[in-house]
Amino acid sequence: MKKVLLALVFVLATGTTFMNANSSESEEVIMETTEAVELIQVAGCARDCVDSAFEQTIDQAIESGELVEMDDYMWNYESCYYNNCLN
Amino acid sequence: MKIQLKIIFLLLFLISLGFKAQEISGRITYNVSLNLTIEQVTERYKGVNRKVPQSSKDRINSSRDILAFLEFDKQHSIQSLEDELKNDGYRGKNMTQKGAGNNKLYYTENAFVQKTSIVECKILEECVLIEQPKAEWKIFQETKIIGSYLCYRAEYQNPIYKYKKPIAWFAPKIPASYGPKIFTGLPGLILELEDNTVTYTAIKIELNPQEKISIEKPEGKALTQEKYEALLKKTFPAFYKKIEDYKTSN
């Protein structure tokens, strides 16, 4: 009898805990999903800037006859990010 | 004995006057304009079997003049560009800015030997002073007047660009061996510089202004150009690999 009672108490306790955990965490999950979507959008824009800045740096080197420089790439990337990824 | 003392004092006085006369400081404002044409760019793209992209034409057409400032005294000089914030909404679209060195500073120190450094603060975690090789110039008899100063033509001899040798017009009447970017070491201040893709023209010359010019040496680790390039390759291997991949695929 004691074992049955203990088992019931255990089931009730864990059940309640899981129920609580589910109800409170579900809200957070929704919020995190929203943030993640925003982050992916920004990262997508930044990713595009990585490619376009590289292309632009190569083109500028052809135009000027200078070497492909890291600082030109950084400048082009920052400019792209500044112009396109920031609201 | 008294006469000897008088002569010594007179000599000392004259020497001090001489030193005073050599103490020169100033602030030069240059207008920087793009000197790269669509025709030149078309030829260069032909060389790599490509058509000029529209983005390149747009960049050239939309470029606009900017200002550069050179401050100097007897000991050193520093050159910077006008405040970036004034170009709001225009960043990256102006090719003149790229030709003028983006946001870098150029610092020259006059010790026993004149040394010019590029101050780079954005790429690595700390600022570095990239030391430049000693400038070699060839001076010509050709002259022109800039402002009210007679200027001589000089051609930069160090190998630096593929298509052009930078040309400076310097004024021997202003005894300061400085100029825009890394172009220093002439027997007079550079008032006009035809660089690779941009031209600097002095539009305001302030010599020995009442307001004292104080220049501080920028902080940062001093590196030679070779060591700096090696450090960049070590820090950003992916970028340099991408360049190599691009070169082999084209």
First-to-last C-alpha distance (Å) of chain A = 67
Range of the domain at B210: 22-132+198-249
The 10 Å CB-count burial string (b at 16+, else e) for B94-110 is bbbbbbbbbbbbbbbbb
B48–A83 CB contact, under 8 Å: no
Contact with chain B for residue A75, Cβ under 8 A = yes
Answer whether B76's CB lies under 8 Å from B107's CB. yes
**Phi/psi at A62 (5° precision):** -65, -45
Q: What average pLDDT does range A36-44 have in this prediction?
A: 61
Which of the listed ranges A5-19, A42-56, B128-142 does the model predict with the highest average pLDDT?
Answer: B128-142
Does some domain include residue B139? no
pLDDT at B83: 77
Of B56, B98, B242, the CB nearest to A54: B242
For the entire predicted model, the pTM comes to 0.79
In a domain, B166, yes or no: no
Q: Note whether residue B174 is domain-resident.
A: no
Q: How many domains does chain B have?
A: 1
Amino acid at B82: E
pLDDT band at A16 (very low <50, low <70, confident <90, very high): low
Q: Decide if B236 touches A, using CB distance below 8 A.
A: yes
Phi, psi values for residue B99, rounded to 5°: -65, -30
Q: What is the pLDDT of residues B82-124, one digit of tens each?
A: 876 555 555 556 789 889 988 899 999 988 888 999 999 988 8
The ipTM of this complex is: 0.79
Q: Give yes or no for residue A43 having a pLDDT over 90.
A: no
Residue B155 in domain = no
Residues of chain B with pLDDT under 70: 1-22, 84-93
Chain B residues lying within 8 Å of A74, measured CB to CB:
122-123
- What does the block give as tokens for B69? 């400032």
Best of A47, A59, A60, A64 to substitute, by most chain B Cβ atoms within 10 angstroms, is A64
> Is B241 a member of any domain?
yes
Asked if residue B96 belongs to a domain, the reply is: yes
- Which run of H or of E encompasses B229? helix B225-235
DSSP3 helix / strand / coil % (chain A, rounded to 5): 90, 0, 10
| Average pLDDT, integer, range A35-53 | 74
Q: What pLDDT is attached to residue B93?
A: 65
pLDDT score of A5? 66
Q: Where are the domains of chain A?
A: 2-85
In a domain, residue B171? The reply is no
Q: Minimum mean pLDDT among A43-47, A51-55, B49-53: which range?
A: A43-47
